[in-house]
Amino acid sequence: MRLLPILLLATAILPAQKRPVTHEDVFLLKRTGEAVPSPDGKWVVFSLTEPDYDATKSVSDLWIVPVDGSAPARRLTSSKGAESGVAWSPDSTRIAFTAKREGDDVAQIYILPMQGGEAQRMLVLASAAANPKWRPDGLGLLFESTVKGSGKNPGKSTARVYDNMPVRYWNAWLEDSRPHLYVWEFGWTSPIDLLTGGKLFESAGFSGIRGGLSSDTSLQPAWSPDGREIVFAATVNKNEMMRAETETHLFRVSRQGGEPLQLTTTGNSYTRPRIAPDGNSFYALQDRTATAQHPYSSRQICSQ
């Protein structure tokens, strides 16, 4: 009986046994998403994913933590569906995000007040909303949505018919779809579709920009400082990808809609536009297209 306390003490001070890292160790690691700082510089919102081998038990929610580390992170959301596209309101009092929650057929826009309370769904859309951005005065939102076409599937056949490229992105077949830009102001019953019906939108080469492993596309929109216009990037010759280098260009459109004005010239591609605070210039990433004289493509930050 006297040996028991000694044995316990010896066990307690022994170093932990080393072992190989297993697939379970890696797969079940909690993962944080992109950190989104508030405009006032006091807070950061981020997503935290807690994986599980059973996909129905995997959890992904939003958390918030003060920038100065004066308090531990706390959970903001607790729902089955994951949130994405977090955007702070200009006054740092609210966040907008998209999520597919109970009762939603597709992802919708939600707004969560930072002072407390539940997230409220702002609109009910037929197609999934993505990438919300607050208007600089905080009175409206800009967001994207990819609307799928009817596609071409003859009869009951499982064959797919395509008349342009690309037809596949990594391991996913691409559907006949087009990206849309919407503007919505508080108090409106429905948003404005900025692009539908215009020459750019109806052109065969129009498309959004893909990135990473996802087949989703984005127009990467940005508000002008006065909130009157939106600058975005789009692919202009998707239908020529089998015989020519595809290019992405920057466009400007009024928040009330109309035909977009192309801001960049052919020969290079431009993505991720940002407008200067004075509204007189913009910045973007420029990809120089490879040519016979310059066989290597390159990327740099440009301004105009």
What one-character-per-residue DSSP string does 208-224 give? -EE-TT---EE---EE-
pLDDT at 157: 66
Query: In this predicted structure, what is the pLDDT of residue 3?
Result: 42
The CATH number assigned to the domain with range 123-153+162-304 reads: 2.40.128.660
Instruction: Give dist(CA 221, CA 242) in Å, integer.
Output: 27
- pLDDT at position 298: 58
- Amino acid in position 55: A
For residue 178, what pLDDT is reported?
A: 87
Residue 300 is predicted with a pLDDT of 67
Q: Which residues of the chain have pLDDT under 70?
A: 1-16, 149-157, 212-215, 289-301, 303-304
> For residues 134-155, b (16+ Cβ closer than 10 Å) or e, as one string?
bbeeeebbbbbbbeeeeeeeee
Per the DSSP assignment, residues forming a β-bridge with 248 are: 235
pLDDT tens per residue across span 117-157: 899 999 899 999 999 999 999 999 999 998 876 545 555 66
Q: Which residue has the tokens 């950190």?
A: 35
**Could you tell me if 167 and 174 are in contact, meaning their C-beta atoms sit under 8 angstroms apart?**
yes
Per-residue pLDDT, 9: 41
Over the chain, what is the mean pLDDT?
A: 86
Residues 288 and 278: their CA atoms lie apart, in Å, by: 27
